[in-house]
Amino acid sequence: MNSKLVDGAECPRCPADTITHLATSPVPGVWDVLQCTHCLYTWRTSEPDRRTRRDAYPEAFKLTDADIENAIEVPAVPPLRV
Amino acid sequence: MPYDDLRSFLGTLEKEGQLLRISDEVLPEPDLAAAANATGRIGENAPALFFDNVKGFTDAQIAMNVHGSWANHALALGLPKNTPVKEQVEEFARRWDAFPVAPERREDAPWRENTQEGEDVDLFSVLPLFRLNDGDGGFYLDKAAVVSRDPEDPENFGKQNVGIYRIEALGANRLAIQPVPVHDVAIHLNKAEEVGEDLPIAITLGNDPVMAIVAGMPMAYDQSEFEMAGALRGAPAPIATAPLTGFDVPWGSEVVIEGVIESRKRQIEGPFGEFTGHYSGGRRMPVVRIDRISYRTNPVFESLYLGMPWTECDYLVGPNTCVPLLKQLREAFPEVQAVNAMYTHGLMVIISTKKRYGGFAKAVGMRAMTTPHGLGYVAQVIVVDEDVDPFNLPQVMWAMSAKVNPKEDVVIIPNLSVLELAPASEPAGITSKMIIDATTPVAPDVRGNFSTPAKDLPETAEWAKRLQDMIAARH
């Protein structure tokens, strides 16, 4: 697995540009699977623009830093039993 | 003849005309999910789908919609494929009475053929992962049976849980998992996290069709899914020992993933297009470290499309949600005739019952909300008379339209518990709940004018059976 950052890549879902490479197609050169290290959005490069391009990504699914920081825990971490 | 693995069931589906092989090259996205989505739109006896030519993959095999029709659900239980839904539920309830049936331990499970461990683990090299819905945060394992044990009572076979939970692939050896607080794995995780320990789990993919049914079934905490599988199969469930965790797992799985839910850690997960027909939103969820993967050579990756109902998910968890509620309600109220909990995993339930006295139907509705499953679901209950088939929606609508006086027969109870995924809950996890009493009032409840109902002719039931048999014989 290649976990290096992908130069010039942008997360379709959040503004981050820290994108890593998770997998490549068994048939060489067909697609790659990329992941945003910030919001963890994961996509295949062969998917439609509405899932892979920031300018085509639906507003309803975009995530901001506040969305990530304020996301509720499910389930909540319980208190440590002493 | 029960099925010991997914492949033998796929063979039966093909023989019965209930499996469609798609050999044209398809894109992993959006084709796989769109095709499975389409099965829910082409009629209630849609086939399973089998893909073996997916662009960019070399030897991927993907099965979808395996339980996604009444015909396939009947075949999974070893019933004729044209068995009516009400009969499937009744047969399911009848077999329940054989519980518990001890499993049969076998060696040489086919998933022992290949192994990845430690640094070599790469989930993407084993499974052809793909996205389902547009807004999903990533690629999901959504039909895996997850095995975990009660950390405070690890040798208790009944408390060992087998459940289906949504699991997102976050990396080569990283997953995120959704343990909804009312579910058994969340109880196990809570106990482990209270003492700061990781929770070992085994995630089994591509199982025999009854294993998927029991793993998606709201059973009691200390009831064994393996022992219920034996009851429903009519033969002991074959199990094997997972090599790393030592957990009991299905013998016939395609893939067994072992690792731990890391203690007291949460990471952003989702959204995911859920069984509610809505996205879940992004939440901070527990994460899994994969330590070992065991898998059959060229494993079949079984996945399930879910989104706006009806989808495979609804067929899979429909009957298996009806039966526990039916059994638990009858413990208190033997007057209960049938329970249809097939709508959104029982967020809405229709119950037919006889009445002891006026007001009785509302008590039945309240009991449904306080069953173990009802605490997290059952937000709306429609109660109908014993002569109304709750699986026959036109009959239910007749009862609603003719027998309900809204002022007295609609009861709303505020601030009750529901699972956080329920889109209408506010705040998440809290909702009001409603009972609609669509039964005929009986004394001392003397409301309305119900003295001269029109009934089916005495010969009608016999003729219905005769016509069904003639239609079945024609195929």
Maximal CA-CA distance, chain B: 75
**Each residue of B268-304: pLDDT tens digit?**
999 999 999 999 888 999 999 999 999 999 999 999 9
Tell me the C-alpha distance between B186 and B161, whole Å.
10
Percent over 70 (pLDDT), chain B? 100
Element (H, E) at B374: helix B372-376
Picking from A36, A43, A74 by the largest number of B CB atoms within 10 A of its own CB, the best residue to mutate is A74
Instruction: Report residues of chain A scoring pLDDT below 70.
Output: 1-3
Rounded (to 5) percent helix, strand, coil in chain A: 15, 20, 65
**Each residue of B149-198: pLDDT tens digit?**
999 999 999 999 999 999 999 999 999 999 988 889 999 999 999 999 99
Q: What is the DSSP string of B410-457?
A: EEEEEEEE--TT-TT-SSTTEEEEEEEEESPP-TT---S--SS-----
Amino acid at B178: Q
**Each residue of B14-66: pLDDT tens digit?**
999 999 999 999 999 999 999 999 999 998 999 999 999 999 999 999 999 99
> Which of B155, B151, B180 lies closest to B165 in space, CA to CA?
B180
Tell me the C-alpha distance between A37 and A40, whole Å.
5
Asked about B227 being catalytic, the answer comes back as no
Amino acid at A33: V
Tell me the C-alpha distance between B293 and B123, whole Å.
8
Place of tokens 């440590």: A80
Contact residues, chain A, for B137 at CB < 8 Å: 13, 39-42
**Which member of B227, B274, B302, B420 is catalytic?**
B274
SS3 assignment, position A56:
coil
Q: Cβ of A30: how many Cβ atoms within 10 Å?
A: 16
Residues in CB range of B9: below 8 A, 6 or more apart: B3, B66, B75, B76, B208, B209
Residue A15: the pLDDT is 87
Q: What ipTM does this complex have?
A: 0.96
Buried b (16+ CB within 10 A) or exposed e, B294-320: bbbeebbbbbbbbbebbbbbbbbbbbb
How many beta-carbon pairs below 8 A join chains A and B? 120
Tell me the C-alpha distance between B166 and B280, whole Å.
11
Picking from B284, B418, B426 by the largest number of A CB atoms within 10 A of its own CB, the best residue to mutate is B284
| Structure letter (DSSP) for residue B128 | -
Residues in CB range of B374: below 8 A, 6 or more apart: B325, B346, B349, B368
Q: Cβ of B48: how many Cβ atoms within 10 Å?
A: 26
Contact B67, B316 (CB under 8 A): yes
**Each residue of B207-260: pLDDT tens digit?**
999 999 999 999 999 999 999 999 999 999 999 999 999 999 999 999 999 999
Of A33, A39, A77, the CB nearest to B193: A77
Contact residues, chain B, for A28 at CB < 8 Å: none
